[in-house]
């Protein structure tokens, strides 16, 4: 089991992964990995996948423009606080806004509406 909720990945990814093993018809051990996420965690992960595809970067592996990676990681932290019923500190909320503004040139440049 991997607990990425208690110890999120550097990217901001949060979930619990459980690997279950079972024998197939030939007796060969097979493994299934189950990712347990809340709705919010899932939305964040899907967003990272889509943005990574848009800008052709492996964001979930920490590869891509630093402003985008920083924004996603910080947004994940704020989302986790809200999801747990807490209030996001004013400083963290301001950091999310600042990092979003820094990331937007990368995201807008590669969006469908801005392509030649």
Which pLDDT does position 37 carry in this prediction? 96
List the domain boundaries for the chain. Answer: 2-114
Which pLDDT does position 116 carry in this prediction? 36
Q: pLDDT digits over 22-70, tens only? A: 999 999 999 999 999 999 999 999 999 999 999 999 998 999 999 999 9
Q: Write 90-96 long-range contacts (CB < 8 A, 24+).
A: 96/71
pTM of the model: 0.83
Distance between CA atoms of residues 50 and 105, nearest Å: 16
DSSP category for residue 66: H
- The secondary structure of the chain in percent helix, strand, coil, rounded to multiples of 5, reads 55, 15, 30
């Amino acid at each position: 089991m991997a607990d990425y909720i208690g110890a999120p990945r550097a990217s901001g990814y949060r979930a619990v992964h459980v690997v279950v093993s079972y024998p197939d018809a030939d007796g060969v051990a097979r493994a299934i990995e189950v990712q347990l996420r809340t709705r919010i965690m899932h939305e964040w992960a899907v967003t990272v996948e889509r943005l990574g595809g848009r800008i052709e970067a492996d964001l979930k592996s920490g590869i891509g423009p630093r402003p985008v990676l920083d924004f996603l990681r910080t947004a994940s932290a704020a989302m986790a606080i809200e999801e747990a019923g807490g209030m996001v500190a004013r400083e963290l909320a301001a950091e999310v806004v600042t990092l979003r503004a820094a990331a937007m040139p990368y995201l807008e440049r590669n969006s469908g509406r801005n392509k030649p």
